[in-house]
Amino acid sequence: MPAVQETVERVKAIDVDQYKYGFETIIETDKAPKGLSEEIVRFISAKKGEPAWMTEWRLDAYQRWLTMREPKWARVDYPPIDYQDAYYYAAPKRLAGPETLDDVDPEILKTYEKLGIPLREQEILAGVKTSRVAVDAVFDSVSVATTFKAELAKAGVIFCPISEAIREHPELVKKYLGSVVPVTDNFFATLNSAVFTDGSFVYVPPGVRCPMELSTYFRINERNTGQFERTLIIADKGSYVSYLEGCTAPQRDENQLHAAVVELIALDDAEIKYSTVQNWYPGDAQGRGGIFNFVTKRGDCRGARSKISWTQVETGSAITWKYPSCILRGDGSSGEFYSIAISNGRQQVDSGTKMIHLGKNTASRIISKGIAAGRSDNTYRGLVSAHRKASGARNFTNCDSLLIGDGCGAHTVPYIESKNASAVFEHEATTSKISDDQMFYCLQRGLSSEEAVALIVNGFVKDVLQQLPMEFAVEAQKLISISLEGSVG
Amino acid sequence: MLEIRNLVVDIEDKRILNGLDLTVNTGEVAAIMGPNGSGKSTLSYVIAGKEDYTVVDGEILLDGESILELEPFERAAKGVFLAFQYPLEIPGVGTMTFLKAALNAQRKARGEAELTTPDLMRRVKAAATKLAIDPEMLKRPLNVGFSGGEKKRMEILQMALLEPSLCILDETDSGLDIDALKIVADGVNALRAPDRSSLVITHYQRLLDYIVPDTVHVMANGRVVRSGGKELAIELEANGYADYRQQAA
Amino acid sequence: MTAELSIIRTAAETELIERFSHVRPVLPGDGVVKRLRDEAFALFTASGLPHRRIEEWKYTDLRAFMRDAPPLALKPEGEAAARLLGQAPPLGDLATPQLTFANGHLVAAPSDLAGIEIVPLADALASGHPLTARMAGLEIARGNTALALNTAFMADGAIVHVRREAGAARLELRFVNGAAQSFATSPRLFIVVDDGAELDLVETHQGPDGLAYQVNSAVEIVAGAAARVSHVRVNDEGLGALAVSTLTVALGAGTDFKSFALTKGASVARHQIFLGCAGENATIALGGATMLRGRQHADTTLLLDHAVPHCTSRELFKTVVDDEAVGVFQGKIIVRPHAQKSDGRMMSAALLLSEGGTMNNKPELEIFADDVQCAHGATCGALDDDLLFYLMARGLPRPEAEALMVEAFLGEPLEFVVRDDVRDALAGLAATWLSERR
């Protein structure tokens, strides 16, 4: 871990309560009127220039949403959300379909620069990074830039904003949208289906190994705005793609809703690796403000021997409610879930995964590392199930929780359901703290308390960090230390 | 130079050290011997600054300055190094990572420039070779799955890299076979220097055959009850601690 | 838009409500006891029978399982009672002072045990025995509907008070069920073990196959400081029975508590354990072995509350599922704020012997203190093919090889049983079950 030293400096340089990405970009915005109604749904659809079938799809979702209730089963607690008191569409004004980056508001480009996400390809090429990453930048409700599109197109890979895909590739969108997360899957997914504004679309054709990492960077900027992005990734037979997702938002004392839906489809022998570094604004030490991150992510291993791997580093948001899952439908398919969830201050995390074994000889692996500090609550909730026909299914689950301080809570709620005798499931979970002796040992070698905690925690989460692409791993490691700032006396 | 005056230490209201006096001059290797329960390990922890101990009275001076108010990492930066009797395992943290973090933290505290990774690698490899440490071990998480002997050698490796001014070796010989003991002793002897003091804590005289001390102090009942030259260790080996136990009781 | 649905009661729920209003005036006890019953029944009327949308009953939908509410059993008299008691006890004759219950009614009890007071529950409730004021006292069990129904309908059972001078006391609670017609019964035991006292308790439940009867039993144990209690429970109910049982345990400082449950009977069984540590340094061991076949459904649900520091608990539950049976294990360890140095380890292992079996495992940790050591594990799978092959290669026919492996699998939690004779008898029951495998 070469970044430890850097991490440690970063931690030192930052005051308690200092969220690095808390700044706001001042730009003119085009907004829909506040509130949610059929008109707003039509407004969004019209803004996106969508075909009629898409408008109908949204309206159908909206009608169904009206009959649904917010789920209450998670171990999270928040005041009622007034769904009429938010904006469902906000877009930077100077954005009548930017043809090149020169058309993008320079303030936005500056924002992404400040966030460390260069959007100009030549800058990326000139940069020190040896590997290149194609980025789709989503600012509030719209995608502002997608890099390396041309080069990707050469390989046959489609990487574009989903609004563009709806117009340009309707046959693919029609076939796959809502096929993994049905419109009525859950309250937040249904809401998303009605009002989603943008997100990324990826299609990798048969046999193609995507030539570079794909990435979407989500930024909520506007006040009182919800963000509802929709991501759809299809890996056709024998293809491979690695996709990264990052998120930040300004520091505000109000709660903002983020209800995304991500659908992954892997056909025969295809592999999708999906990594998230979630760093939405977590609220302040008293629990004021912060993002409500209510997200539905699901992958469908539709084809034989397909593979979907989720890796997440969750450090942000006031409340996190997400369960990136795998439906292991294809025979011999496999799913993985690697998670680091860190909560500090008054954050609440209820996260985990579902591994649903339907096909024969399917395998899944879950490694979850939860770290609770401050007065936060951190829950792992997971389902592993083998259906009647899932002969030879295998699961290994390891959930470890680390508590830092005596004001926090760490909980583990696994559901393990087997209907097949030849399925072998193993689950283990532990809860512990950083031992006084370990701390003293590090201090004796000259590390300060915070350096020692950062080091030990980085060791605790190493199995998961190793799953991240290199650039993200370094970033994630820094983030972990920053998130635990102020957790030791 | 280490100077301890009238040190009284409790742990959970139980008295462990009871008016201990000890002076270790610069460049000197002092051995602390004594029966089990005489407070030897407590002494090493208190010098290093472990939290669980309450210093009721007395003073610990390093080069004339009191270190009692300092945090453990501040003492480390001042050159105090404790080779643990039971080195801790830190899962997931690579040995090299740990060495670099510790070394640079101390260098920074002393206002020295940080080491570059290649420079560090060179130093670590050189030290590792001397201690017969398999380079593969450096790739593994610190102390995780190491044998007792490997852990002890890793402690000496850290000591060599951190170049402390006061080395405290807490029962470093325990759990070592004779070959490992020789390697460890050679490592310690190589670090002997005019500007470095050492405190070698041991129950058995055996270690002192290999690390020949300048002075020997006998502890009993939380105090140094007798001091002398290296011949004192040989006398203890012959007669045992029985006399001192009685004295203590 | 989101109009509340009006509660539609099932036939069983309606019958229970009617029954309660009928029997309430004649159930023993007044004043305090009546209030206790009313409060408990109010919980039921508010929530109905627990169903799968209630998290704690997710895998055992009592509302669906309990189709009707048969009439309350009367105390068998004369020849009927003699016939009942003539059945062979599941663990054989243990030569232990025995409280005998026929269809939930106390029919025989030892009267001359030094240091042990035994009062029939009906008498205790009617006369306002001082210990009745301490019943239904465990906070974590209070919202449980099954226990509440027992409290509302409890008509018989016993209060047992074990004093220190009883020495290493032994008792057997023998529940025998059987009648020509379907019936329901809610026996209740309230057992107080004084500071420093010792009790070894064996509890067996049996009944005839082919009769749809319902038992909702509850055993409450309150153990004082430095008490030692070991408890063994055997469910050998008839295969038509619906058997819900609750064990609540309140432990004082430095107590040693062990409980082991063997479950092989009933069509639907739910055994729930609520255990609270009220004093520091308690040591707890909970074990279980469940053997299911046909279409049996058995659920073990436990809630362990480390409310104070320095308590240690070990839980080991094994489930063997054959045919189309369904096994459920739900275990939750709570460590409250400030309950530092809690040490809890829970393991649930299941063996599926057939294509059609199901096992649902939900081991939970809920931790609010940082200086703790808690872990849980759960496994589920079939017999190890390699081992099976090894045994067969050594000449064991498949059924015998399988039986040997299953026996070894079930044997581990039996270590929690203190009495050698009881452990042997339990192992015998398991062996018999295995020999009956087709």
Helix and strand element counts for chain C (H, E): 9, 20
Average pLDDT rounded to a whole number, residues B79-98: 89
- Residue B249, pLDDT > 60, answer no
Instruction: Count the residues in chain C.
Output: 438
Question: pLDDT tens digit string along A114-152?
Answer: 666 666 655 544 433 444 667 777 776 666 667 778 888
- A403 in contact with C, Cβ within 8 Å: yes
Tokens 């040693």 appear where? C256
What does the pLDDT read at residue A357? 98
Class of residue C123 by CB neighbours under 10 A (exposed 0-12, middle 13-18, buried 19+): middle
Mean pLDDT by 10 residues, chain C (438 residues): 63 95 93 93 95 94 96 91 92 95 95 94 94 91 96 96 96 96 97 98 96 97 97 97 98 96 98 96 97 98 96 96 97 94 94 95 94 93 85 80 89 92 95 87
Q: Do the beta carbons of residue B20 and residue B222 sit within 8 Å?
A: yes
E strand or H helix that includes residue B23: strand B14-24
Render the burial of A280-305: b for 16+ CB within 10 Å, e for the rest: bbbbbeebebbbbbbbbbbbbbbbbb
**Hey, which residues does A217 pair with through a beta bridge?**
A137, A246
Q: Do the beta carbons of residue A56 and residue A12 sit within 8 Å?
A: no
Indicate the SS3 state at residue A354.
strand
Pairwise CB contact (< 8 Å): A446 & B49: no
- A441 in contact with B, Cβ within 8 Å: yes
Average pLDDT rounded to a whole number, residues B221-246: 84
Q: What are phi and psi of A60, to 5 degrees?
A: -60, -45
To 10 degrees, what angle do helices B117-130 and B148-162 make?
Answer: 130
Size of interface A-C (CB pairs under 8 A): 121
Q: Which among A5, A440, A458 is the nearest to B50, CB-wise? A: A440
Q: Which among A2, A443, A459 is the nearest to B92, CB-wise? A: A459
What does the pLDDT read at residue A7? 41
- C372 in contact with A, Cβ within 8 Å: yes
What does the pLDDT read at residue A56? 95
Indicate the SS3 state at residue B18.
strand
Distance CA A291, CA A279 (A): 10
Helices within A16-105 (DSSP H only): 38-47, 52-66
For residue B137, give the CATH number of its domain: 3.40.50.300
Distance CA B211, CA B213 (A): 6
Report angle CA A125, A128, A129 to the nearest 5 degrees. 75
Range of the domain at B40: 2-248
Distance CA A441, CA A308 (A): 40
Question: pLDDT tens digit string along B32-82?
Answer: 998 888 899 999 999 998 888 999 999 999 999 999 999 888 899 899 999
What does the pLDDT read at residue C409? 92
- B102 in contact with A, Cβ within 8 Å: yes
Chain A residues with CB under 8 Å of B50 CB are 440
ipTM of the complex: 0.89
Beta strand extents in A236-362 (DSSP E only):
240-248, 255-258, 261-266, 271-278, 290-301, 307-314, 319-322, 325-328, 334-343, 348-357
Q: Which among A1, A436, A446 is the nearest to B76, CB-wise? A: A446
Q: Which two structure tokens, joined as six digits, stand for A265?
A: 């489809």
CA distances from C156 to A236, C32, C101, C104, C126 (A): 68, 17, 9, 7, 11
For chain A, the distance separating the N- and C-terminal CA atoms, rounded to the nearest angstrom, is: 25
Residues 168-187 of B with CB under 8 A from A: none
Distance CA C298, CA C300 (A): 7
Class of residue B135 by CB neighbours under 10 A (exposed 0-12, middle 13-18, buried 19+): exposed
Q: Do the beta carbons of residue C347 and residue C402 sit within 8 Å?
A: no
Chain B residues with CB under 8 Å of A445 CB are 73, 76, 98, 102, 105-106, 158, 162
**CA distance to partner chain A, nearest, from residue C80 (Å):** 43
Q: Which among A409, A417, A418 is the nearest to C367, CB-wise? A: A409
- A433 in contact with C, Cβ within 8 Å: yes
Q: Which among B102, B109, B141 is the nearest to A459, CB-wise? A: B141
Q: What are phi and psi of A207, to 5 degrees?
A: 75, 0
E strand or H helix that includes residue C175: strand C168-176
Question: pLDDT tens digit string along B173-223?
Answer: 888 888 888 888 998 899 999 999 999 999 888 889 999 999 999 999 999
Chain C residues with CB under 8 Å of A415 CB are 360-362
- C367 in contact with A, Cβ within 8 Å: yes
Question: pLDDT tens digit string along B139-183?
Answer: 888 898 898 888 999 999 999 999 999 999 999 888 888 888 888
Provide the residue type at A371 as one letter: I
Per-residue pLDDT of chain A (489 residues; tens, 9 = 90+): 333 444 444 434 433 345 667 677 776 777 788 889 999 999 999 988 999 999 999 999 999 999 999 998 889 899 889 999 888 888 776 554 455 666 667 776 776 666 666 666 555 444 334 446 677 777 766 666 677 788 888 999 999 989 899 999 999 999 999 999 999 999 999 999 999 988 899 999 999 999 888 888 877 777 777 889 899 999 999 999 999 888 776 676 778 888 999 999 999 999 999 999 888 888 888 888 888 999 999 999 999 999 999 999 998 889 999 999 999 999 999 999 999 999 989 999 999 999 999 999 999 999 999 999 999 999 999 999 999 999 999 999 999 999 988 899 999 999 999 999 999 999 999 998 888 899 999 999 999 988 899 899 988 998 888 888 776 777 777 777 777 776 664
Render the burial of C219-245: b for 16+ CB within 10 Å, e for the rest: bbbbbbbbbbbbbbbbbbbbbbbbbbb
The domain total for chain B is 1
Nearest CA to A45 out of A177, A195, A146 is that of A195
Bridging pattern class, strands B197-202 and B29-33 = parallel
Q: Do the beta carbons of residue C253 and residue C282 sit within 8 Å?
A: yes
- B106 in contact with A, Cβ within 8 Å: yes
Question: pLDDT tens digit string along A238-293?
Answer: 999 999 888 776 676 778 888 999 999 999 999 999 999 888 888 888 888 888 99
E strand or H helix that includes residue C435: helix C420-435
